[in-house]
Structure 1
């Protein structure tokens, strides 16, 4: 492994986590990098595997520990703490400090009775296939996908005993029925708080729901619906006011990005929508609305899932193309082309775990490769990628 990550995409200001680079590389072992892939951006750290060559869920064990199994959506971090939605282990891992080695144990676990348990359940202290985690405005939010609900902690938890304060999508903490209404959800995969609003990607209802203020009571009704003409419909389509399996979200409260996964695109509202069924302003991944074909280029996508932004750049986990794309600006027209790619050498390469870029998957992953990338969270100059099929989180320089 090279001792220094690729300079592509590295910003002049070195974030605090990047200062840990020598220690991270020392703890990560072999695999990837080197002369075989000089043009691929190299991760400087990982979590979930003992080294860059590992890929098995829970590192091949039958129980969970300081391991991961199919992490799906975005992680959450404020630069100090880190939360990971460990989807197939039915839990959230909480770290008091961002891990500096793959051997770092979580400070606490939410959703399970112990650090090794991983059984799904429906209760106030249990989870089922959590899709993504978010921290912001002093709160923690979990899209508890398998329980068809979103959980809200009014204070960011720091121990396993801290229970969520509010549930939406259900009337109580012991129900998990899916539905299509202003108060029900069907496999929500992402939830964020932005400028006092709660925004939820309600995947199987083909819509995004918006609460104009963060709910304080269980089962609160949403105020707005995007992607559907009303709260009781769930048809999938590809117009500017329609969606098909939305998966990920990003918003600063003034702008909104939604990965419309089934339509192989990202929808962008330049001003946060103020009414239901509002048309998106621009589309990324397609040359225009009313199109949904998958592609593999700088301006096309294939089943994008997670999305993140630092307010200037946009990062999209392009799951079906086994890559993350970076766009250096927000769209001012449809079909914006990406400026950088992680996980591949070029915008037309798509093979998973292909460090030498010969078009065939290698026997093991590497520090430069991805397989089913599903989360792209950016904070403090560090890009956290949920590398789902390799059962790990990779840390890249922005």
Structure 2
């Protein structure tokens, strides 16, 4: 896409309003409110949000026709007004793959699966990845790092027939050929030399084959992107790696061996601070540059190299600003600690965590 046409505008606001823009949207659980949502998914039929702070998942059937629309279904709580960890403990990512709903139940160290998107509240999950049973909630199943366990699985993606999990606490990305059923070990481990190691940056320092906090995943049939938040960068693999290997692309750093952070000063179009979200869209790559309170848009990302500049920015007036809500107030086009991203047909959904809402942006023709 021509970078000069990379312009998006906010079109829908889910979550409570912000009175006068000077107060944050309400966070107490209800059908309309959210508390620090970290994940979002939508398609032609449904919108699904990981309402992380309320330890639940909210579902809208059909795209909401108005701002602040109430959810139709709640999972993880007995009703729309209950809170606290129950079935879910800080869910962080949601998605529908092959008609099945997947939820990254991060602080229970597992991925929960519903065989279809629930149409009524309280539906129980049908399967689990990362634990031996639905009752398991301990990191790495209560033992040391091993191929079948998970530790803070914050992100996931199903790309080119491979199911990936960002196993954040074990500093690795796991990949299965097809959606895993039962206790099947991963076919690919990225970021560690084997399935029994979980050292930060592989125990050797920042490099092209190591992660600090791999948090979110995105891509297509030929590309895999990993938001390595703790190293303030996004790594790209092209094609999909058949096994552990170095990345081909790095965004946010000048080379593969740096994790330079530049807090509280102008960032420009190349640098990132704690990028927790990534999505590949029809118009390019979107990165949630979380600590800079912005989303960076790359119209055309090369497959190899380093330090490419973004062509557009959401949430800030320019590439030099980084303030929460532009240091002004909560408005439809401001951001405060954006996390999860999802793209579908020219629209980008942003889990605007610090503002207790999800915002949908649309490509301007």
Given the two structures, how large is their TM-score scaled by the length of structure 2? 0.90
Shift of 1:49: 1.9
1:342 aligns with 2:342: no
Shift of 1:8: 6.3
Alignment partner, residue 382 of structure 1: 347
1:262 aligns with 2:234: no
Structure 1, residues 221-276: CA drift from partner, whole Å, max 9, x if none?
A: 2221111111111112221110001111113243100000000000000101111x
Alignment partner, residue 223 of structure 1: 187
Gaps of 5+ in 1: 1-6, 11-40, 355-360
Alignment partner, residue 190 of structure 1: 155
Number of residues of Structure 1 aligned to a counterpart in Structure 2: 346
Question: Does the 8 Å CA contact 1:90/1:120 hold for their aligned counterparts?
Answer: yes
Residues 54 and 248 (structure 1 numbering): CA distance in 2 closer, same or farther, change over 3 Å? Answer: farther
1:315 aligns with 2:283: no
Residues 369 and 189 (structure 1 numbering): CA distance in 2 closer, same or farther, change over 3 Å? Answer: same
Structure 1, residues 147-206: CA drift from partner, whole Å, max 9, x if none?
A: 000112232332224332221110001111102211111111111222332110111111
Shift of 1:313: 0.4
Structure 1, residues 311-342: CA drift from partner, whole Å, max 9, x if none?
A: 55000000010000000012242111101000
1:65 aligns with 2:62: no
1:129 aligns with 2:90: yes
Gaps of 5+ in 2: none
Alignment partner, residue 292 of structure 1: 259
Shift of 1:135: 1.4
Question: Does the 8 Å CA contact 2:18/2:24 hold for their aligned counterparts?
Answer: no
| Aligned alpha-carbon RMSD (Å) | 1.8
1:106 aligns with 2:67: no
Q: 1:47 aligns with which of 1, 5, 14?
A: 14
Question: Does the 8 Å CA contact 1:323/1:344 hold for their aligned counterparts?
Answer: yes
Residues 54 and 250 (structure 1 numbering): CA distance in 2 closer, same or farther, change over 3 Å? Answer: farther
Q: Which structure has more strand as a fraction of its residues?
A: 2
Shift of 1:278: 1.4
Q: 2:105, 2:89 → 1: CA distance? A: 6
Task: Say which SS state the counterpart of residue 43 (structure 1) adopts.
Answer: strand
Q: How does 1:157-172 map to 2 (within 5 A)?
A: 157-172=118-133
Q: 1:95, 1:380 → 2: CA distance? A: 18
Task: Say which SS state the counterpart of residue 341 (structure 1) adopts.
Answer: strand
Residues 103 and 283 (structure 1 numbering): CA distance in 2 closer, same or farther, change over 3 Å? Answer: closer
Given the two structures, how large is their TM-score scaled by the length of structure 1? 0.83
Task: Say which SS state the counterpart of residue 107 (structure 2) adopts.
Answer: helix
Task: Say which SS state the counterpart of residue 79 (structure 1) adopts.
Answer: coil
Alignment partner, residue 203 of structure 1: 168
Alignment partner, residue 147 of structure 1: 108
Shift of 1:102: 3.2
Alignment partner, residue 9 of structure 1: 6
Alignment partner, residue 118 of structure 1: 83
Question: Does the 8 Å CA contact 1:252/1:311 hold for their aligned counterparts?
Answer: no
